[in-house]
Amino acid sequence: MASHAHPTHPSAQALGDAEVLRIRNDFPILEQDVNGRPLVYLDSGATSQNPQSVMEAEQEFYEQRNAAVHRGAHTLAVNATDAFEDARATVAGFIGAAENELVWTQNATAGLNLIAYSFGNASVGKVSEAAKKFALGAGDEVLVTEMEHHANLIPWQELCRRTGATLRFIPIHDDGTLDMAAAAELINARTRVLSFTHVSNVTGVINPAAELAAMAHQVGALVVLDACQSAPHLPLDVKALDVDFAVFSGHKMLAPTGIGGVYGRAELLDAMPPFLTGGSMITTVTMEEAGYLPAPQRFEAGTQPISQAVALATAANYLSETGMERIHAWEAELGQRLVRGLEGIDGIRVLGPASGIPRAGLAAFEVEGVHAHDVGQFLDAAGIAVRVGHHCAQPLHRRLGLNSSTRASAYLYNTTADVDAFLAAVAGVRAYFGVEGA
């Protein structure tokens, strides 16, 4: 796959309203009314909805295959293990990885903590020679960006606190795009880790992942990609982007909660110290010490989210069969429709790039004189679900001069009518709260 240098101009034909209406039939939750109005769900950036096939896959596992994996020799245990590992192969293929390069986690936050804590474990005590490459100390730098979700900021803050390394960040421009000139200066011989979001969950900015990875690798740094907002919405090929690690969450890509993944280059995962320890990730255990399995099992202590993994694989197949290029093209159209519409409403400030500039299918905005939570409640009364708050990105909001915003985020089951209903409702917010023309 391409490295998404021009992510809003894919060659594939976008989905259209007629096809999306057929897709919506696969999502029972979208058929309901909320507050007497047809539900308009524009909060997929927080959590996506599940198609019937995904829910059935998880139920079928419990009805036909439920057993512990990698532990039993009986038929159910074998069937459960096969389903679990088949799911790993499917999801790994979905992101362009090899089967042994995907570690199951609870979510992307758990994945980022796994990476950071493993690096921290390489900095203390007795570790293998291979693990020493991950050890950090005084004089080393970890680099993030000013647009990061807290999940890709706080683990690195904690790692630097524990190891004495320094955390630095690449600033953004006023339009929310990354300052690449600053990135070129900040990525230097002291940089050991560069961790950044592929797609901002606030501004919709799509970062040049391959370019940033190349810059980091030139100085020998490891590259961690937060793919939470890209894996569900655009074709993701971790090998083409040349990142060392990537994380994603199932609940943002049509799957249940409680399942996510870490991609890591096989040679790196096998060299990293374990994060969680216990059963299922060991070779030999004595009363004094233990030996650990190679990846991915060395990072999967305890009972795993087996049915969730099976359901995530079904979700990945659903997305692949629909066509990630087509999904991305449709969401790009919806994203532009959102921004153009919001820009045409008095008293609205859109965060991130202006209309016509590439972005993901989401838009966060400020309504002059009205708190974001009030905006959200007004929209909910009209049956429209959006996200309000700082979206777990306080530093980004602070940089943009805000404490909170309202965010509408689209997915493959949203129509132009959804966007237009949202825009019509937003147009009435200031008048309702008596601040129009203030």
Question: Which positions are catalytic?
Answer: 392
Q: Say which amino acid occupies 307.
A: S
Give the three-state DSSP class for 366.
strand
Tokens 């099976």, residue located:
310
**Closest by Cα among 10, 39, 33, 50 to 415:** 39
Distances (CA, A) of 412 to 127, 191, 206, 330, 349: 46, 38, 18, 7, 26
Give the three-state DSSP class for 236.
coil
User: Exposed/middle/buried for 158, CB within 10 Å: 0-12, 13-18, 19+?
Assistant: middle
What are the DSSP calls for 380-392, one per residue?
Answer: HHTTEE-EEE-TT
Helices H, strands E: what count in the chain? 15, 17
**Closest by Cα among 208, 137, 200 to 166:** 137
Residue 81: other Cβ atoms inside 10 A: 18
Give the three-state DSSP class for 221.
coil
Gap between the Cα atoms of 68 and 70, Å rounded: 7
Gap between the Cα atoms of 203 and 173, Å rounded: 12
- H or E element at residue 318: helix 306-322
Residues composing the chain: 438
Distances (CA, A) of 130 to 112, 272, 297, 404, 434: 21, 8, 18, 44, 64
**374 with 432: CB under 8 angstroms?**
no
Q: Six-digit token pair at 398?
A: 């602070």
The dihedral sign for the CA sequence 14, 19, 24, 26:
negative
Angle at 155 (CA atoms; ends 150, 156), nearest 5 degrees? 100
